């Protein structure tokens, strides 16, 4: 970064302090990660705004899993984590004490890698603090490993009571009992999972005619409009913000459920043909979101995951086909064509050939 930018960040940048991190652990912020040394205590000169902080502590009770969280850093904010105990902002008293000792603490803080900040903004520009508070786990942290707990004794008692009732009714509980042999049944720890927006299963209005049911089975606009008028009513662009959060949680946070939600939302939007006419600006922004995301995915990722079942190419092919049918305004159709040409040139993806799932089925005699 140039001297002027460095001076501004030194005056206004936030500071993140991480206490008790074992040497040799992984620490990252946004798209940057490092292996911690013996003197590491955090990061300084963080540009105000939303960032994703994550760490994988070596030789700690966390067991090496990746733990992270989004946080909207304010100007000159001081934020800390006491590893293995809590994630919380410092109290006013602690902040005053630490700020008064910043000169000594400064030598243990690494500067935020500003050269990658522009890329980070392009991947998070639709994420809002309200959206994060709604989607992040209630516990405040996002973990790469699903957290489970053994069922309570009350649950076990209810199971035994149910088996006793089966026995009294003359039914053998042996079959059901076999299901409980081996590994114990575990439940997800309450408050630790992402709270993704639920996508409605109802694809058409209750009073829809057979012709309308057929139309809505192909065109997902009814579902999209339902979400835009409920979950995203305050700000329709928050659906793009959730797509960005899902992408980051999967690619950086290693949360597979986030990838599943990302696929669902991307496919929902790309298959909403009629909505292209009523929400052209929203789809213009969708193209920008996908443009930056595609460029950050490692090349082998497409082979290993995204290309499985040809998800991304077939979904985008449906999107481009809907645009070619004349849906959306001229600006949207033009941007769509440029995006398609760019993907074809860079990744050699073919969006003009009919996908196999629509090809005629040949039956051997």
Asked whether residue 140 is assigned to any structural domain, the reply reads no
Per-position pLDDT tens, the chain of length 365: 778 888 888 888 999 988 778 888 899 999 899 999 989 989 999 999 999 999 887 765 445 688 899 999 999 888 877 665 445 555 677 667 766 777 788 889 999 999 999 999 999 999 999 999 999 999 888 988 776 666 654 555 555 555 555 555 555 555 544 544 555 666 777 788 899 999 999 999 888 898 989 999 999 999 999 999 999 999 999 999 999 999 999 999 999 999 999 999 999 999 999 999 999 999 999 999 999 999 888 766 655 555 444 678 889 999 999 999 999 999 999 999 999 999 998 888 878 776 555 444 444 44
Q: Is residue 291 part of a domain?
A: yes
* C-alpha–C-alpha distance, residues 339 and 323, integer Å: 12
Angle between helices 280-296 and 256-270 (to 10 degrees): 140
Q: Number of structural domains, the chain?
A: 3
220 and 340 share a domain?
Answer: yes
Residue 332 belongs to domain with CATH number:
1.25.40.550
- Is pTM beyond 0.85? Reply is no
> Is residue 291 domain-shared with residue 246, that is, in the same domain?
yes
The length of the chain is: 365
Following DSSP, what letter does each residue of 52-81 receive, concatenated? EEEEE-TTSTTTT--EEEEEEEPTT-EEEE
What CA–CA distance (Å, rounded) separates 245 from 289?
Answer: 11
Measured CA to CA, the distance from residue 253 to residue 259 in angstroms comes to: 11
Domain assignment present for 14: yes
Range of the domain at 265: 210-357
Q: Is 51 helix (H, G, I), strand (E, B) or coil?
A: strand
Q: How far is CA 326 from CA 277, 291, 334, 342, 351, in A?
A: 9, 22, 11, 20, 17
* CA dist., res. 350 & res. 208, Å (int): 36
| Residue 54 domain-assigned (yes or no) | yes
338 shares its domain with 226: yes
């Amino acid at each position: 970064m140039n001297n002027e930018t460095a001076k501004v960040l030194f005056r206004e940048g936030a500071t993140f302090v991480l206490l008790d991190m074992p040497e040799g652990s992984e620490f990252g912020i946004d798209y940057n990660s490092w292996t911690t040394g013996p003197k590491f205590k955090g990061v300084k000169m963080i540009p105000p705004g939303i960032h994703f902080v994550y760490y994988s502590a070596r030789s700690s009770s966390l067991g090496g899993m990746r733990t992270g969280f989004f946080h909207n850093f304010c100007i000159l904010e001081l934020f800390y984590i006491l590893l293995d105990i809590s994630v919380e902002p410092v109290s006013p008293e602690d902040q005053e004490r630490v700020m008064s000792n910043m000169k000594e603490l400064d030598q243990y803080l690494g500067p935020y890698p500003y050269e990658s900040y522009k890329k980070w903004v392009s991947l998070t520009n639709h994420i809002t603090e309200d959206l994060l508070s709604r989607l992040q786990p209630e516990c405040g942290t996002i973990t790469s490993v699903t957290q489970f707990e053994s069922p309570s004794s009350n649950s076990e008692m209810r199971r035994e009571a149910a088996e006793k009732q089966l026995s009294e009714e003359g039914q053998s509980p042996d079959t059901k009992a076999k299901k409980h042999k081996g590994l114990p049944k575990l439940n997800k720890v309450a408050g630790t999972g992402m709270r993704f927006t639920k996508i409605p299963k109802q694809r058409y209005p209750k009073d829809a005619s057979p012709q309308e049911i057929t139309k809505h089975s192909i065109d997902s606009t009814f579902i999209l409009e339902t979400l835009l008028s409920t979950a995203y009513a305050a700000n329709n662009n928050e659906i793009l913000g959730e797509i960005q959060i899902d992408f980051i949680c999967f690619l950086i946070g290693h949360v597979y459920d986030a990838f599943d939600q990302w696929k669902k939302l991307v496919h929902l939007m790309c298959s909403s043909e009629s909505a292209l006419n009523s929400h052209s600006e929203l789809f213009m922004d969708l193209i920008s979101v996908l443009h930056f995301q595609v460029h950050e995915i490692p090349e082998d990722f497409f082979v290993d995951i995204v290309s499985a079942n040809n998800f991304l190419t077939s979904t985008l092919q449906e999107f481009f086909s809907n645009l070619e049918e004349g849906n959306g305004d001229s600006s949207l159709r033009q941007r769509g064509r440029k995006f398609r040409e760019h993907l074809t040139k860079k990744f050699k993806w073919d969006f003009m050939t009919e996908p196999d799932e629509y090809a005629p089925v040949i039956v051997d005699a």
